[in-house]
Amino acid sequence: MLTLGTLVGRAELELAFAGGVDAARYEAVGVAALTTLTLHQLLEGEPQRRLESGSLVLVTGMESRLRGRAEVALETLMEQLALDRCAGLVVHATPDAPRSLSPSRAAHDLSRAVVDLSHTLAVPLLTTSAPPPLWARTRHLLKDSRLAGAERHVTHLTTLVQQVPTELADPQAMQRIADWLARTLHVQVLVSDPQRVLAASPATAAETLAPAIIHRSMTESASHPSPQGPDSATGTAADWANPEHRGNHGHPVNPAHPVNPAHPAGPEHLANPAYPTDPEYPANPAHPVPAHPVNPAYRTNPAYRTNPEPRTHLATPHRPATDSLAPAHAHRPAYAPPHYGTAPPRPSGPHTRLITLTPARGADTVLAVARSSAPFDDAELRLLGHAARLLGLLDQARREYRAAADASRAARRAAMELLLDGEVDKARRVMAPQAPGLLEADTARVFVVDVPRTHRDTAVRRCEAATAGRALVIADPRTDRRIVVVQPVRPGRAADGVGAELTRLIAALGIGSVGGSGVYSMSLLAEALREATAAQGFALQQPGSVALSAHHTDLISLLPAREAQLWARQLLAPLMRNDAQWEQMRDTLLTALAHPYTVAARRLSLHRNTVTRRVARAADALCVDFTSVSDRIAVGLALELVTHREQPGGSAAPGEAPPSLRSLLSSPQVTAWADTLLLSARGDRRDLLATATVWLTHDAHIEPTARTLGLSEATVRSHLRALEQHLARDLGSLGGLRDLQFSLHVVTGQVEVGEHCGALCPAAN
C-alpha cells in the first residue's frame, strides 16, 4: 500500500506536510484511495457521505478572496476525516497564484486555526501546488496499488488456508503456521501459554518476545494499563481480523468510538475548550483552537450525528475505550492526537503485536509477533487476525485433545492396575468404552520398554501408533523411564507382530531397550510383568538392546500342544481328581514353587505354615521332592501347561501311554531353541555351561558346586551372573532355571530332567 511518505517523495506531486506537522510520525500512514473536492463542493456541504477509511482528500480551487469561509469549511471537513479515519487532507494552492509558489510557501498561507485543528484531530495536513491532472494519475496509481495489495492478500489467505492441518490436533500445525507467518511478514513469531512455548519462528523468537508477554501479564495482574512501548499493542483475533475494530496504527479500539487510523495520540488532546465534550474529559488549555461554525449540511447529515442535539464540534470523539478491545499497551488513548511541537521520538525497538487466541474460553494462549522494520499495515494486521483465529482453533483442539488424552491415559492406568491385581473383569469394564474387546482374551504377553525420561512421551505415542489398537500401552507411573505394553493373545491366532514392531521402534529411536515375557493368563500379568522387566534388564547387555524372550525363546509355545497337555495332566492327576482340592492346590503351588514360602504366603494372604502344609500334601500326592530342582521344574511346567494354556481337543486313546518329558523336548523346534539360547554362552572363554551343569546337579546350591569344581564361591556366582546375561534369564526364578535345565539337557545331554515324577506313586482308588 502507498503511504503519505511515498507520495511526498514523488517530486511531480509537489507535496509537503504543512508547517509544524511531524512528518516522521505520519509518513508511514497508508493511503487507500484519493477523493477530490473543489472549494465550491466543500462550501455546498460536500461530502454528504461517509468517506472510505484511509482516503486522502484533495481540496482544489482555494482562492484568497474566499479564505475565511474556506477555512471554516476545511475545519468542518477535518472533523469528518477524523470520524471516517481518513489518511489526511491535502490543500491545493490557489490556481491564480504563481506556479513558482512552493508547497512550503503555501503552508504558510494556511491559518493557525486550521493547523492547530489538524494536530488536535490527528489529521495530517499537507499542501500541494501540482496541477489536478497529475493527481488524477495518482488516483489510478492508488487503484493499481490496492488491486495488487488485494491480490497479494488473497494469495496470503490461500497460502494460510493451505496450512490448515488434516487433523486439528496435529502437534506440528502451530509450528508450520508460525514458520509461514515469519516468512510472509518478515517477523519473529511466538505462540505460548503460561506453561510452555507452543511454537517459535525463528527458535530465538522467545528471547525477543517473552519480555512483552511478561509485561502484559504483569499489567493485567495490576488491573491497570501500563506502557509496553510506543508501538506495541494487544487484542483478540477478532479485533485484528476486523478493521472496524482497530484504531490508530491498527490497534484494537472500541467500535463505538471511531478514530483516525494510524495516528498515535496523547491525553493532552482529549478535548479542547472550543469543543464541547463530556465533562469527564477536561479540555487541555495548552492548545486552544478557535471556535467556528459547522457546515449546516454536514451537521445535519444523519450519518454523522453524534448527539440528538446539534453541537458545534465532535461530541466526545476521543473518549478512551473501556472494553476488552482497547489497547493495553499505552498510557494514553490510542486515538487522541499527537503532541503538537513536542512529539515523542519514534520507537527504536521492534514493532510488537500481542493477540489473545481464545479470549472467550479464558485461555492464556498468546500470539506475539515483532519486527524492527516498517510498522504493520492494515492488510498485514488483517492477515495476523486470520492467522490468530486459525491458531486459536488449533489451540482449542490441542486443549480438548489433551483433556481427552489425559482421561484416556487415566483409564488405561486404572485398567493396568486392575490387571496387575488380578481384577480382570473390572479391567475389561474400564477399557470397554475406549477399546471394546481389547482385553477379552484370556492370555497375554507383556513387554517393557525403557527409554530416557525426556523421550518417554514420544516413545509412548510411537508405541501406540505401532501397536495400532492391538495392545494396551501405558507410561508406568512407578518410574519415569518405563513403558508397559500388554498384548492380549487369543489362542489359535498367529502372532500379530507387536514384539517385532517394538523391536523396530527401539532401533529407530536409537536409545532404550525392550524386554518381553512369555504368554501368561490374564490373571497372572503381575508375573508376566516381572519376567518382562527382568528381560529388559538383560536386554541392556544384548546387541540391539532387545530381549524378547517370548519372541524367540518361548519354550512352551514350541511344545506339541496335545502331547504336552497329556503329559501335564497325567503328572498332576493325583491333585486334579478332587475339584476343591485342585483349586486350592493349584493357586498355592503356582506361587510357592516360584517364590520362597514366606513371600508366597504374603502374596496368597495365607499363613506361612498353611503354605508349607499344602505344599507338603501336594508333594506327597505327586510323589515328588520339592527340594529337588528337577522336580520343582517338572511340576511347575505341568502347572503352567494346565493353568495358562488352552486345553486341546481330544484325550488319550484307551491304552495310549502318555508321552514322557524327554520326548516332549526332542522335537526339532525345541532343539533349535536350545541351541540358540546357549549359543552366546558357549562362546564365553569361561566354561559357563560346566558350572551350570554342576550347579543344577547340586540343586542350585553354591557351596557344593564350588567344592566339586574346585572354584571359589565368588567365582561360581560370577559365572552364574554371566550366564544370566547370555541367556537373558533370571536364574533366581523357576522359569529361568527351567529354560537352563532343558536347554542343557537338549544340547549337552548331561543334565537329567524330572522324568521320574509320580512314577512311584500308588494308583488311586
For the purposes of burial, counting CB atoms within 10 Å of the CB of 304, is it exposed (0-12), middle (13-18) or buried (19 or more)?
middle
For residue 626, the SS3 value is coil
Amino acid at 591: T
Could you write out the DSSP letters of every residue in 5-23?
A: HHHHT-GGG-EEEPTT--H
Q: Are 446 and 510 in contact (CB under 8 A)?
A: no
Average pLDDT of the segment spanning 523-532: 84
Q: Which helix (H) or strand (E) holds 409?
A: helix 378-420
CA quadruple 140, 145, 148, 149: dihedral positive or negative? negative
Structural domains for the chain: 1-162+271-317 (3.40.1390.20), 166-267+322-411 (no CATH), 441-552 (3.30.70.270), 664-747 (1.10.10.2840)
Q: At residue 312, does pLDDT exceed 50?
A: no
Q: At residue 577, does pLDDT exceed 80?
A: yes
Q: What pLDDT sits at residue 45?
A: 82
Distance CA 269, CA 335 (A): 10
> Which region among 153-167, 467-481, 555-569, 631-645 has the lowest average model confidence (pLDDT)?
153-167
Q: Are 129 and 14 in contact (CB under 8 A)?
A: yes
Q: Is beta strand 33-38 parallel, antiparallel or unpaired with respect to 232-236?
A: unpaired
Amino acid at 551: H
Distance CA 401, CA 270 (A): 48
Over residues 216-228, the pLDDT tens digits come to 666 655 544 443 4
Provide the pLDDT confidence category of residue 281 given band limits of 50, 70 and 90: very low
Q: Is beta strand 472-475 parallel, antiparallel or unpaired with respect to 482-489?
A: antiparallel
Amino acid at 89: L
Distance CA 101, CA 111 (A): 17
Q: At residue 243, does pLDDT exceed 60?
A: no
Distance CA 261, CA 263 (A): 6
Q: What pLDDT sits at residue 300?
A: 38
Task: Return the closest-CA partner of residue 659 out of 675, 670, 672, 644.
Answer: 670
For the purposes of burial, counting CB atoms within 10 Å of the CB of 122, is it exposed (0-12), middle (13-18) or buried (19 or more)?
buried
Q: What pLDDT sits at residue 697?
A: 92
Average pLDDT of the segment spanning 293-315: 37
> Which region among 175-189, 230-244, 296-310, 689-703 has the lowest average model confidence (pLDDT)?
296-310
Greater confidence, 747 or 547? Answer: 747
Average pLDDT of the segment spanning 618-634: 90
Q: At residue 402, does pLDDT exceed 50?
A: yes
Average pLDDT of the segment spanning 416-444: 90
Q: At residue 306, does pLDDT exceed 60?
A: no
Distance CA 590, CA 572 (A): 13
- Cell (9 digits) for 698: 547340586
165 CB-near residues (< 8 Å, 6+ apart): 172, 173, 176, 394
For the chain, give the mean pLDDT.
75
Q: What pLDDT sits at residue 339?
A: 35
Q: Are 740 and 723 in contact (CB under 8 A)?
A: yes
Provide the pLDDT confidence category of residue 428 given band limits of 50, 70 and 90: very high
430 CB-near residues (< 8 Å, 6+ apart): 411, 414, 415, 418
Greater confidence, 517 or 412? Answer: 412
Over residues 586-621, the pLDDT tens digits come to 888 888 888 888 988 888 889 999 999 999 999 999
Average pLDDT of the segment spanning 734-740: 90
Choose the most confident range, by mean pLDDT, from 103-117, 176-190, 552-566: 176-190
- Cell (9 digits) for 43: 462550501
Choose the most confident range, by mean pLDDT, from 345-349, 423-427, 494-498: 423-427
Average pLDDT of the segment spanning 143-147: 74
Q: At residue 688, does pLDDT exceed 70?
A: yes
Distance CA 294, CA 22 (A): 27
Distance CA 720, CA 726 (A): 10
Greater confidence, 290 or 154? Answer: 154
Provide the pLDDT confidence category of residue 707 given band limits of 50, 70 and 90: very high
- Percent of the chain, pLDDT > 70? 70
For residue 509, the SS3 value is helix
For the purposes of burial, counting CB atoms within 10 Å of the CB of 396, is it exposed (0-12), middle (13-18) or buried (19 or more)?
middle
Q: What pLDDT sits at residue 604?
A: 86
Q: What pLDDT sits at residue 26?
A: 85
Q: What pLDDT sits at residue 241?
A: 56
Average pLDDT of the segment spanning 354-375: 78
Could you write out the DSSP letters of every residue in 652-690?
A: PPTTPPPPPHHHHTTSHHHHHHHHHHHHHHHTSSS-HHH
Greater confidence, 265 or 744? Answer: 744
Distance CA 371, CA 201 (A): 12
Dmax over CA atoms of the chain, in Å, equals: 140
* pTM greater than 0.75 (yes/no): no
Provide the pLDDT confidence category of residue 711 given band limits of 50, 70 and 90: very high
> Which region among 40-54, 327-341, 464-478, 616-630 has the lowest average model confidence (pLDDT)?
327-341
Q: Which helix (H) or strand (E) holds 483?
A: strand 482-489
Greater confidence, 281 or 698? Answer: 698
Q: How far is CA 429 from CA 274, 437, 488, 592, in A?
A: 79, 10, 15, 31
Provide the pLDDT confidence category of residue 670 given band limits of 50, 70 and 90: confident
CA-based radius of gyration for the chain: 43
Over residues 694-706, the pLDDT tens digits come to 999 999 999 999 9
Strand pairing partners for 154? none
CA atoms within 13 A on the CB side of 301: 18
CB atoms within 10 A of CB 354: 23
Q: What pLDDT sits at residue 212?
A: 72
Provide the pLDDT confidence category of residue 515 given band limits of 50, 70 and 90: confident
Over residues 318-332, the pLDDT tens digits come to 333 333 333 333 333
Angle, vertex CA 19, rays to CA 70 and CA 290, nearest 5: 50
Task: Return the closest-CA partner of residue 472 out of 499, 438, 441, 502.
Answer: 438
- Cell (9 digits) for 99: 506556479
Q: Is beta strand 55-60 parallel, antiparallel or unpaired with respect to 88-92?
A: parallel
- Cell (9 digits) for 306: 453524534
Q: At residue 763, does pLDDT exceed 50?
A: no
User: If you search the block for the grid coordinates 477555512, which residue do you land on?
Assistant: 71
